[in-house]
Amino acid sequence: MLTHTDSKLADIDRLISQQEAIFVKRQPKSAEMAARARGVLAGGVTSNWQITEPQPVWLSHGAGSKVYDVDGNEYVDLHGGYGAALAGHAHPAIVRAVREQVTRGTHFAQPTADAIIVAAELARRFGLPQWRFANSGTEATMDAVHLMRSFTGRDLIIKIEGGYHGHHDSVQVSVMPDVAEAGPAGHPAQVPSSSGIPAAITGLTLVASFNQLGSVERLLDEHKDQVAGMIVEPIMMNAGIIGPEPGFLSGLRDLLHSHGALLTFDEVKTGLTVGPGGVTAKEGVLPDLVCLAKSVGGGVSVAAIGGTEELMRHVADGGYEMVGTFNGNPLAMAAARAMLTEVATEEAYLRIERLRARAEAGITKAIGDNGLTAHVVTAGAKGCIVFAAQPVRDYRGFLATDDSYSNAHWLFQHNGGVFLPPWGKIEQWLISVQHDEPDIDRLIGNFAAFASAIHS
C-alpha cells in the first residue's frame, strides 16, 4: 500500500504544478476579471475565502446542478457556495417564490406570513418550539452566544478546537491553530484566530476537544458556575467531516446541564444537508439552541435560531434584545418557505441518499484499485475524502492528515469539470436536490484519474 513518503510528496507537487498550468490556461477571462477587480475590490474578491490558488474563478451563472465560469467552462457544482446550495441553482420553486415576492416588495422590517410557515416547519423538523431569523451564520451563532450569557448571567463559553462558527469575536478562537501553539491535546490552549480581537474577549472562550467529554468536564470543574454554555458543530464540518462518537452529544448536554450551563448546536452547515432535521433529529439529542443558515434560504441569505420555550421567553420578554433590520426579510422568508415546503422534501432526501451512496462506493473502489491511503466520509448530502488510513475523531487527528493530496485532487476535479469547495482538506462536497447520476459519475471518474496519476 502506498503511504505519503517524501518521494510521493514530490510527485504530488509535480502533479499540482501540472494541474495549475492547465487550470490557468482554461481561464484567461477569470485572470482578466481578477486583474480588473484588484483596482476596486480588496484582494480582488468579495471575501478572503475567494482568494484561492492558482487564481479565483469568476462565475457567470448557475443552472440546476451546474455552474459556468466567465470563460464558458461548465462544472458540476459540488462546491454549493460553501454548502448553501442544497437547492442547486435557479430551482423553479425558489425562482417562483422570489419572483412573486420581489413584485410585492422586498423589505418592510415588519413580519410577513411566510415567517410563521418557516418557523413552524423548522419547529417540526428540529423539535425546538420557538424561532427567530437573521441573515448569516455568524449572526445566528453570535445571538446564541449572547443569549446563553444573558440567560445564565455568566461570561465564559466553551467551544471545540477546530470548530468554526463565523467571524464574531467570541468564536474566533482556536479555529485552525498550528500544533505548535495549540497546547496539550486534552486541554487545548485558547488561540486567537484573527487579528483585531481583544485578548480580554479571547480569554472568555474556553477550548475543549471533540469527542472527549473529559476535556469539557475539566473546564466546567475548573470554572465552576462561570460557564454560560457551549457551542458545537454536532458533526464537525470545518475539519473535513468528523462525526460524534456514540454518547458524545447526549453526554455533552447532560454534563452542561448538570453545571447550570446551556448547549447550542451550530447546524449552519449540517442543518438541512445531513437530513431534514439536521444532526439534532438524526441523533435524537435536543440542545437548548440550534443555529441554521447556508442552505435554509435556498440560496438567499437567511439564518435561523431555534430555542426552548424558556430561553426564547427571555428574548420575548426583552431579557435579551435579539434584533436586526433585515431579520425575517420577506424575500428571505419567501425563499426559505419554498426551500422547506417544496425543495427539501422527503423524496429529495431519498434521491440524495442514492447519490451519496453512489459517490461513496465509486470513490472507495478507486481508492482500493489504486492502493491509496485514503477513505471517504459522508453525512447525507455532504462528503469528503480523507487522505489517511484511520478515521479522524478530533482536530488533532485532522491536522495530521495530508493536505497536498487534497489540493492536487481539487485541481484534478476542477480541470475535469467538477467544482469542489477550495481549501483542500477543510471543506466537503454538497450534493444538491438537482444533481443526478452522471454528475456523480463525473466526480468518481475524475477521482479515479487522479488516483491512477498518483499510482503510476
Ligand X SMILES: Cc1ncc(COP(=O)(O)O)c(C=O)c1O
Identify which of residues 220 and 239 has a Cβ nearer to ligand X in the complex: 239
Q: Footprint of ligand X on residues 67-96 (CB under 6 A)?
A: 82
Q: How far apart are CA 135 and CA 119, in angstroms?
A: 15
d(CA 289, CA 303): 13
| Separation between Cα atoms, residue 128 and residue 424, nearest integer Å | 35
Nearest to 77 by CA among 352, 445, 325, 440: 440
The answer to whether residue 11 is catalytic is no
Cα 314 from Cα 100, distance rounded (Å): 35
Total residues interacting with ligand X, rule: CB under 6 A? 14
Which residue from 239, 262, 293, 433 is in contact with ligand X, where contact means CB under 6 A? 293
CA torsion sign for 312, 314, 315, 316 is positive
In the complex, which residue's CB is closest to ligand X? 137
Q: Positive or negative, the Cα torsion across 77, 82, 88, 89?
A: negative
User: Counting contacts by CB under 6 A, is residue 233 touching ligand X?
Assistant: yes
Out of 44, 166, 362, 416, the residue judged to bind ligand X by CB under 6 A: 166
Long-range pairs, 244-248, Cβ under 8 A, ≥24: 244/210, 244/211, 244/279, 244/283, 245/211, 245/393, 248/210, 248/211, 248/213
Does the footprint of ligand X cover residue 137 (CB under 6 A)? yes
Q: Which of 66, 159, 269, 294 is catalytic?
A: 294
Bridge partner list, 290: 265, 306
Does 165 participate in binding ligand X (rule CB under 6 A)?
A: yes
Residues 237-256 contacting ligand X, CB under 6 A: 238
- Residue 136 binds to ligand X (criterion: CB under 6 A): yes
Kindly tell me which residue out of 20, 77, 266, 402 binds ligand X, with binding defined by CB under 6 A: 266
User: What gap in Å lies between CA 191 and CA 206, rounded to an integer?
Assistant: 10
Lookup result for grid cell 413580519: 111
Active site residue 164: yes
Nearest distance from C-beta of residue 238 to ligand X, angstroms: 5
Can residue 138 be called a binding residue for ligand X (CB under 6 A)?
yes
Q: Is 269 in the site for ligand X (CB under 6 A)?
A: yes
- Specify the residue, 163 or 330, whose C-beta has the smaller distance to ligand X: 163
Q: In this complex, which beta carbon is closest to ligand X, that of residue 18 or of residue 50?
A: 50
Q: Which residues contact 181 (CB under 8 A, 6 or more apart)?
A: 189, 191
CB of 325 to ligand X, least distance (A): 17
Active site residue 82: no
Catalytic choice (69, 75, 164, 382) = 164
The catalytic residue among 114, 143, 266, 439 is 266
**Please, is 76 exposed, middle or buried when counting C-beta atoms within 10 Å of its C-beta (0-12, 13-18, 19+)?**
buried
Q: Residues interacting with ligand X, by CB under 6 A?
A: 82, 136-138, 141, 164-166, 233, 238, 266, 268-269, 293
- Catalytic residue numbers read 164, 266, 294
